[in-house]
Amino acid sequence: MRLKNFSLQYGLPLYKAFSDEARVRILHLIVHWERMCVSDLELTLDFTQTKTSRHVIYLKNAGLVNSKKIDQWVFYSVKEEVQDFVNQMFSYLAKDAQLQKDLEISQILYSNRELALTKIGKGWKPI
């Protein structure tokens, strides 16, 4: 179910979530990758685990993200009902230099992880 209209009471936490640069950067990465865990966010953004977790919980309490536990990892994704709202907000920020840099870093980290998994899968063993 997608939101078409919302009340002031429902909307204020959403807008407040966008009032902090760290939360916007976190949410942008979650939107781009569809789901992320705190450890990946903290590596990409060079935040502490505490800061990252605090902001992710704020986004969750504001009604912007869901969490799903898989083994020992908790992955966060944007709630379906606010997807259009979030995409619209990021359409205005599409060319922001900091958000683009965050995406570049996350793509490098992701490609390094994929390369490592490929080497391990082919019988590669560290010295």
Candidates 83, 76, 49; CA nearest to 61 is 76
| Axis-axis angle for helices 38-45, 21-33 (nearest 10) | 120
Task: Judge contact between 92 and 23, C-beta under 8 A.
Answer: no
| Structural domains counted in the chain | 1
Residue 127 counted as domain residue? no
Alpha-carbon gap, residue 51 to 81, rounded angstroms: 26
Question: Does 29 map to a domain?
Answer: yes
Q: Residue 65 has what pLDDT?
A: 97
Do the domain assignments include residue 90? yes
| 64 in any annotated domain | yes
Residue 4 contacts residue 43 (beta carbons within 8 Å): no
Q: For residue 87, what are the domain limits?
A: 8-121
Which alpha helices (DSSP H) does the chain contain, by range?
A: 8-17, 21-33, 38-45, 49-61, 83-91, 97-121
Q: What tens-digit pLDDT sequence spans the chain (127 residues)?
A: 566 666 787 778 888 999 999 999 999 999 999 999 999 999 999 999 999 999 999 999 999 999 999 888 899 999 999 999 899 999 999 899 999 999 999 999 888 877 666 666 655 444 3
The reply to whether 92 falls in a domain is: yes
Do the domain assignments include residue 2?
no
